[in-house]
Amino acid sequence: MNNTVATPRTLIDKIWDAHLVRAESADAPAILYIDLHLVHEVTSPQAFSELRGRGLKVRRPDRTLVTLDHSTPTLPAGTDGKLPYANAQTAQQVAQLEANCAEFGLELNGFGSGKRGVVHVMGPELGATQPGMTIVCGDSHTATHGAFGALAFGIGTTEVGHVLATQCLLQRRPKTMAVTVDGRLPAGVGAKDLILHIIGVLGVDGGTGHVIEYRGEAIRALSMEQRMTLCNMSIEAGARAGLVAPDQTTIDWLRGRPRVPQGEAFEAKAGEWLNLTSDTGARFNREIRIDAAQVAPTVTWGTNPGQVTAIDRAVPRAGDAQSERALAYMGFKGGHSLLGEKVDVVFIGSCTNGRLSDLREAADILRGRRIAAHVRMLVVPGSDQVKRQAEEEGLNEVFKAAGAEWREPGCSMCIAMNGDQVGPGQLAVSTSNRNFEGRQGPGARTVLASPATAAACALAGVIADPRSWGGMSDAA
Partner 1 sequence: MTPIRRIESRVAVFSGENIDTDQIIPARFLTTTQREGLGQHCFADWRYDQEGKERPEFALHRPELRNAGVLLAGRNFGCGSSREHAPWALLDLGIQVVISTQIADIFRNNALKNGLLPIVVNAEQWQAIAGFETQTIAVDLERQQIELPDGQTIAFEVEGFARQCLLRGVDQLGYLLAESAAIDTFEKAA
Binding site feature residues: 351, 411, 414
> Phi and psi at residue 310, in whole multiples of 5°?
-60, 140
Regarding 423 and contact with partner 1 (CB under 8 A), the answer is no
| Minimum distance of partner 1 from residue 54's CB (angstroms) | 8
Q: Indicate which single residue of 268, 424, 470, 473 sits in contact with partner 1 (rule: CB under 8 A).
A: 424
Give Cα 282 distance to the centre of its chain: 28
| Interface residue with partner 1, options 75, 165, 314, 401 (CB under 8 A) | 165
Minimum distance of partner 1 from residue 236's CB (angstroms): 8
Does 205 contact partner 1 by CB under 8 A?
yes
CA distance 462 to 419: 25
* Strand order across the 36-39 sheet: 108-109, 64-67, 36-39, 134-137, 151-154
Contact present, 2 and 89 (Cβ < 8 Å) = no
Strand 427-430 and strand 405-406: the pairing is: unpaired
Rounded Cα gap, residues 124 and 229, in angstroms:
12
Can you tell me which of 71, 226, 353, 431 binds partner 1, judged by CB under 8 A?
71
* Using rule CB under 8 A, residue 55 touches partner 1: no
Radius of gyration of the chain (CA): 22
Binds 45: which of partner 1, ligand SF4, none (CB < 5-8 Å by kind): partner 1
Q: Which part of the chain contacts partner 1 (CB under 8 A), choosing from 158-166, 253-261, 267-275, 391-399? A: 158-166
Between the alpha carbon of residue 352 and those of residues 103, 191, 357, 433, 439, the distances in Å are 32, 10, 11, 6, 15
d(CA 161, CA 48): 7
> How remote is the C-alpha of 471 from its chain's centroid?
22
User: Which residues line the annotated binding site for [4Fe-4S] cluster?
Assistant: 351, 411, 414
Count, residues in the chain: 476
* Closest to 215 measured CA to CA, from 164, 153, 282: 282
Residue 395 contacts which entry, ligand SF4, partner 1, none (Cβ below 5-8 A, type-dependent)? none
Q: What residue ranges in 123-237 does DSSP mark as E strands?
A: 134-137, 151-154, 168-171, 175-182, 210-215
Chosen from ligand SF4, partner 1, none, partner binding at 351 (C-beta under 5 to 8 Å by type): ligand SF4
28 binds partner 1 (CB under 8 A): yes
Q: Is 162 in the site for partner 1 (CB under 8 A)?
A: yes
Residue 21 within binding range of partner 1, rule CB under 8 A: yes
Q: Is residue 445 within 8 Å of residue 424, measured between CB atoms?
A: no
What, of ligand SF4, partner 1, none, does residue 450 touch, CB below 5 to 8 Å by kind? none
Shortest spacing between CB 185 and partner 1, in angstroms: 27
Q: Binds 313, which of partner 1, ligand SF4, none (CB < 5 to 8 A, cut-off by type)?
A: none
Asked if 456 contacts 466 with a C-beta cutoff of 8 angstroms, the reply is: yes
User: How many residues make contact with partner 1 (CB under 8 A)?
Assistant: 65
d(CA 125, CA 34): 20
List the interface residues with partner 1, window 286-305 (CB under 8 A).
Answer: 304
Choose the contact partner of 130 out of partner 1, ligand SF4, none; CB within 5 to 8 A by kind. Answer: none
Distance of CA 166 to the CA centre of its chain: 26
Name the DSSP class of 438: T
Ramachandran angles phi, psi of 411, nearest 5°: -75, -35
Q: Which of partner 1, ligand SF4, none binds 379 (CB below 5-8 Å, type-dependent)?
A: none
Contact positions toward ligand SF4, by CB under 6 A? 69-70, 118-120, 139, 141, 350-351, 411, 414-415, 432-433
Binding to partner 1 by residue 316, rule CB under 8 A? no
d(CA 379, CA 362): 10
By CB under 8 A, is residue 29 in contact with partner 1?
Answer: yes
Q: Which stretch binds partner 1 (CB under 8 A): 40-48, 213-221, 339-347, 454-462?
A: 40-48
Per rule CB under 8 A, is residue 145 in the interface with partner 1?
A: no
The minimum distance between CB 268 and ligand SF4, in angstroms, equals 33
Q: Which stretch binds partner 1 (CB under 8 A): 4-12, 48-56, 107-115, 220-228?
A: 48-56
Segment near partner 1 (CB under 8 A), from 180-188, 356-364, 431-439, 447-455? 431-439
Say which entry of partner 1, ligand SF4, none residue 156 contacts (CB below 5 to 8 A, set by partner kind): partner 1
- Rounded to a whole number of angstroms, the minimum distance from the CB of residue 101 to partner 1 is 14
Q: What is the DSSP letter of 317?
A: P
Q: Please report which residue ranges of 180-320 form alpha helices under DSSP H.
A: 191-202, 217-220, 224-232, 248-254, 264-274
Strand (E) or helix (H) holding 445: strand 445-448
- Residue 168 sits in the site that holds partner 1 (CB under 8 A): yes
Phi, psi of 131 (to 5 degrees): -55, 145
Among residues 137 and 371, whose Cβ is nearest to ligand SF4?
Answer: 137
Q: Which of 155, 231, 380, 449 binds partner 1 (CB under 8 A)?
A: 155
**Contact between 287 and 15 (Cβ < 8 Å):** no
Q: Which positions lie near partner 1, rule CB under 8 A?
A: 21-22, 26-29, 31, 33, 42-43, 45-46, 49-50, 54, 56, 59, 70-71, 87, 89-90, 92-93, 96, 138-140, 142, 154-159, 161-162, 165-168, 170, 172, 204-205, 208-209, 235, 238, 240, 304, 321-322, 325, 415-417, 424, 434, 436-439, 442-443
